Structure 1
Amino acid sequence: MIASVRGPIRHVGLDHVVVEVGGVGLLVHTTPETAAGCRTGQELTLETTLVVREESLTLYGFDGADAKALFEQVQTVSGVGPRLALAMLSVHSPGAVRTALAQGDLVALTKVPGIGKKSAERLVLELRDKILALGVEPGLAGGGAVAAAGGEDAVQTQVREALQGLGWTAKQAEGALDTVAKGAEAPTDVAALLRATLRELGR
């Protein structure tokens, strides 16, 4: 099991980074917000989970042990795999996911692409007692805000592609971006704009 990685960042994608560890570049899947807070060349430490399949080895990385623990916990529910677990953490912070599970907030859970009402009910049924036993710590998503080179168009392009990667259609992503961009104080960096657009899509 690869529990964590640390090293210089060699590449930053919309939902992944490549971290050099001991001369080997490891591709680590992350949330779009985590990736948006990374810069090529900077030293990065991520808590990681290695998902082993017959045909692949896939590494998922998180900026804290809390997110990693939740990523692993939600996968104990039937029908929830690593991609869906990562989508949950892309839309909500770990604290917000736990709050939704503890309170049975199906509306919040179904904001995640790939989670319908029945899936949300199953998540609440199987995890509510476990979450309540550990205590709930509501919170907002963290993550650094990094301005994208190339100006506003480049920022919106990155956010649009990240939203489509999470499961929304191009039309939905464009509509939400337009609404947020018309606001009085529209975000100008990738991470903040992504958060604002996700909130708009969840209305």
Structure 2
Amino acid sequence: MIASVRGPVRHVGLDHLVVEVGGVGLLLHTTPATAADARVGQDVTLESTLVVREESLTLYGFADTAAKALFEQLQTVSGVGPRLAMAMLAVHTPDAVRSALAHGDLVALTKVPGIGRKSAERLVLELKDKILAVGLDPSAPGTSSTGTSGSDAVTGQVRDALQGLGWTTKQADTALAAVAEDGAPTDVAALLRATLRELGR
């Protein structure tokens, strides 16, 4: 089990980082927000979880232990795998996910691509008591994450990232258009965060 990774960043993607550890570059899948905070050459420490499948070994990285714990807890629910758990953390902050589970906020949960009403109800049913048991203040609402962009190339990268997270091309384009009306930024990471915020409304 690779519980954490520390080293210089060798590559920053929209939803992943390559961190050099002992001369080996490890690719860690992250949320867009975590990736956007990293810079090439910067030393980072990420909490990590290794997901083992017959055909693959996939490493997921998190900014803190709370996000990692929530990622693992979400997967205890039937039908929720690492990709869907990561999508939840991409659309909402960990606090927002916990708040939605604690309050039974199905609207917030179903904003995540891949989660329908039944799936949201199952998440609340199985995790609400566990979330409250660890001391979440049910009166404290959570927040969502997001950002901005500009050129066709940047827009295309963000569209591809959104499709990778589960949204359709139409949903991605609609959100990008809405963000553009407010003056979209030219930075890929910023545009992606802004579009995710728009999709989370």
TM-score past 0.5 threshold = yes
Gaps of 5+ in 2: none
The alignment's C-alpha RMSD in Å is 2.1
Whether 2:109 is the aligned partner of 1:106: answer no
Answering whether residue 184 of structure 2 is matched by residue 181 of structure 1, we say: no
1:95 is matched with 95
- Return closer, same or farther for 1:142/1:166 CA change in 2, 3 Å cut-off: closer
Identity %: 77
What is the Cα deviation at residue 187 of structure 1? Answer: 4.3
TM-score normalised per structure 1: 0.88
The equivalent residue for 2:50 is 50
Corresponding residue pairs, total: 197
Q: Secondary structure at the match of 1:152?
A: coil
**Aligned pair partner of 1:200 in 189, 198, 201:** 198
Give the structure-2-normalised TM-score: 0.89
Alpha-carbon distance, 1:170 to partner? 1.8
Moved more, 78-87 or 50-59: 50-59
1:64 aligns with 2:64: yes
Mark the CA change 1:158 to 1:36 in structure 2 (over 3 Å): closer, same or farther. farther
Secondary structure of the structure 2 residue equivalent to 1:78? coil
Match of 2:170 in 1: 171
- Counterparts of 1:91 and 1:30 in 2: how far apart (Å)? 12
Q: What do residues 42-97 of structure 1 show as CA deviations (whole Å, max 9, x unaligned)? A: 21111001111222211100011111010011111111111110000000000000
Letter in 2 for 1:167: G
Counterpart position of 1:7? 7
Alpha-carbon shift at residue 141 of structure 1 (Å): 5.3
Deviates more, 1:92-101 or 1:163-172: 163-172
Q: Choose 8-17 or 84-93, whichever is displaced more.
A: 8-17
Gaps of 5+ in 1: none
1-side partners of 2:145 and 2:8: how far apart? 21
Deviations 1:131-161 (A, max 9, x none): 1111226443579x8x9xxx72154333222
